[in-house]
Chain A
């Protein structure tokens, strides 16, 4: 139903005495606010996309290569994109400081035109140059745009470009990749991330548990970029950094986003839950897997360099600090999922089993599998119960999927006699019927 149809419907409810005039007015005010917010978002998006296409067009014009002009004229022309973009940015900042569209579009335009000016100079002087150096200067010049007028739209471009410093150096032999080495300039990714984070913090509505479009967008950008970039951005302690990241996402989500209406409006919680979902299933199949437990080679810690020790320590400290914080918040009645709080303990337990297995030749891996499978099952069932309590059907479906996937995996890899497995899974099937039966009254009514 569109807004005008909804307003007619509300007015008809009032006419028929179903809704009183005050409630009708309040609902209409709420709808008006939401419509205006979505309208503002549309305007900002349209202006930003416009700036993007104009910039793309300017890059195409540059690409023509106007070599009929003398070099000094081309040198002067190199400044034109930056000068025009600076003027547009000036107008945005000092004439329309409250217009999101102006600020976002002009910031993106200026960011891209800084690159265009440098590209023009390098074209004129035949410099293929060092791309990393070019990118470093470009991103350094972008940082003030986050703070002068608080533009957020450029965050996506900025952080994706910063990931270039994590991209491994691929070695080629006769056009075939024969190896790679990790990018040694990975610290620049952290530098640019930390330069951006204060902007994110300043944009948060810190007094509220509900955030607007801007902060939701920033949340999605930060969570996805950091999640993908993390394995290349750290040098040791992969397991602990992974656990710490999930905890951090979950706690930020709960503190600042928990009252946003949908999963799309809660990027930190959504990503944390999806990550836990995937990892629990993954570990339930391959408990002591290479990527999580063996990649650090903890037995060689004596030969580690300072960088590796610093990363490992930071990962462990982050897990401890975030777990303590989660327990404190839980004590203060914040609605935290106890299975999420328990996640670090689970991984410490699994790591203990790995160490006993690997270094003391004491194999109790079966216990790890047992605990992890029950944990994953409990996680899924808890999600269904919590979803039912809070009338959150998506959360219930999430829990249902968790349980369902886990059981399907066990169906194929469980080492039991077929007759016993058959009876077990018939029981599981009836358990789902039971869940359906118990939930029927709630939802059909």
Chain B
């Protein structure tokens, strides 16, 4: 019985440590990661486990190293344009010396270009009552005022977390409350 209780306690500890690890890791990236603003598009599907979300789309077809192949994991460099927006610039096989990169899988590679699979930046989970309104705002702004809406992300050691969607420099949820 004592052994069984010990096994149970160990099992329970592992179960609780996993979400704790994800939380601490996410907080680390959000606190200490480099901040980037990225242009986006959005719409409103549904996830059966986590509720409604806006799917965020980026320009994810980029140049890549010649030695990279489909299915490889690559280091995707983030660079800034003249307006201060970041974009995914290229997929490299060598780890860069700076911190402005994410690790991503290459979905396909063709003629020096690759389609990257971006983890953790493509879904913005949102309250079910606000999803429709948020979708409308995102769609309107991406169509009519693309410079007034962006996604802020944080990157650290190849990992990325979505900080928020900003509409006229206001976080999306706050913007929905005030408009």
Contacts and interface: CB of A to CB of B under 8 A. Distances in A.
Partners in one complex: yes
A68 B127 CA distance: 9
Given A65-B127, A83-B16, A144 B120 contact: no
A65 B19 contact: no
Interface in A73-125: 75, 78-79, 82-83, 86, 89-90, 93-94, 114-125
Contacts of A329: none
A51 to B, nearest CB: 17
Interface in A129-159: 129-130, 137, 141, 144, 148
Interface residues of B, number: 40
A127 B15 contact: no
A94 B161 contact: no
Given A86-B15, A126-B123, A121 B5 contact: no
Given A65-B52, A66-B127, A94-B5, A127 B26 contact: yes
Contacts of B12: 86, 90
Nearest to B1: A94
Interface stretch (B43-51, B80-88, B90-98, B137-145): B43-51
B121 to A, nearest CB: 8
B18 A141 contact: yes
Contacts, number: 111
Interface stretch (A18-26, A56-64, A215-223): A56-64
Given A121-B22, A141-B14, A184-B71, A126 B124 contact: yes
A67 interface: yes
Interface residues of A, number: 41
A127 B50 CA distance: 10
Given A78-B19, A82-B19, A125-B23, A65 B49 contact: no
B162 interface: yes
Please classify the interface of chain A as helix (H, G, I), strand (E, B), loop, or mixed, using the class held by over half of its residues.
helix
B148 interface: no
B1 to A, nearest CB: 8
Given A65-B125, A65-B126, A67-B173, A123 B51 contact: yes
B18 A128 contact: no
B26 A62 contact: no
A171 interface: yes
Interface of A: 59, 62-68, 75, 78-79, 82-83, 86, 89-90, 93-94, 114-130, 137, 141, 144, 148, 171, 184
Given A67-B126, A94-B4, 13 more contacts: A63-B51, A65-B51, A65-B125, A65-B126, A67-B173, A86-B15, A118-B22, A119-B49, A122-B22, A122-B50, A123-B50, A126-B124, A129-B120
